[in-house]
Amino acid sequence: ELKVEQNPLFLSMQEGKNYTIYCNYSTTSDRLYWYRQDPGKSLESLFVLLSNGAVKQEGRLMASLDTKARLSTLHITAAVHDLSATYFCAVVGNFGNEKLTFGTGTRLTIIP
Amino acid sequence: NAGVMQNPRHLVRRRGQEARLRCSPMKGHSHVYWYRQLPEEGLKFMVYLQKENIIDESGMPKERFSAEFPKEGPSILRIQQVVRGDSAAYFCASSRFTGELFFGEGSRLTVL
């Protein structure tokens, strides 16, 4: 059974600081996604990572993938308040379809 | 190009009633996935359907829950005899055969 773990579950950061969210998964995977969810809203796709060593950046967020370690990271640089949200990683297993297994989520709060 | 459309957005039911949640996939998508998100938790896979077929229902509770995706019309997730523990956000996502899942805004079920 594919398991996906994130840590930390909760993260409070001051504006301007850097931090990293970690996502570990238990079996080989084709793809890994990072999503953002604001309270009461749907999921916003941030990144899709397809191969070992993949790195993608958008604004203050950068995601990377190490398929050998089964680890992805989401790095936040110089955090600003509007990055406050819950962030999920999700992994596509080798099921022959697009079924996603989600991590538990990291609730990020940026403190002014 | 309309995204994934879910309705109702909010639904209140009393214990023992039935809940029906509808999902219209994006144009050109014939694959639908349903996920459930309990308060303060990540998304859990429920069922994967193609037109007129249930492909994977490994995440569906054995009783009271059913899903369909008819040849015409939206996919429907049906919950019979709802209980308080069914209160959650139910998200639908669609895809082509391969490729990224696109999520709807979700249907939030409250059971009184």
3-class DSSP string for A38-94: CCCCCEEEEEEECCCCCEEEECCEEEEEECCCCEEEEEECCCCHHHCEEEEEEEECC
Q: What's the pLDDT tens digit per position in B55-103? A: 999 999 999 999 999 999 999 999 999 999 999 999 999 988 777 889 9
Quote the percentage of chain B above a pLDDT of 90.
79
Reported confidence tier of residue B39, pLDDT bands at 50, 70, 90: confident
Cβ–Cβ gap B42/A41 under 8 Å: no
- Asked if the Cβ–Cβ distance from A42 to B106 is below 8 Å, we say yes
Quick one: average pLDDT of A4-28?
Answer: 93
pLDDT in tens, A26-84: 988 878 999 999 988 889 999 999 888 889 999 999 999 999 999 999 999 999 999 99
Residue among B43, B55, B108 minimizing CB distance to A97: B55
User: Using a CB-CB distance cutoff of 8 angstroms, which residues of chain A are in contact with residue B33?
Assistant: 98-100
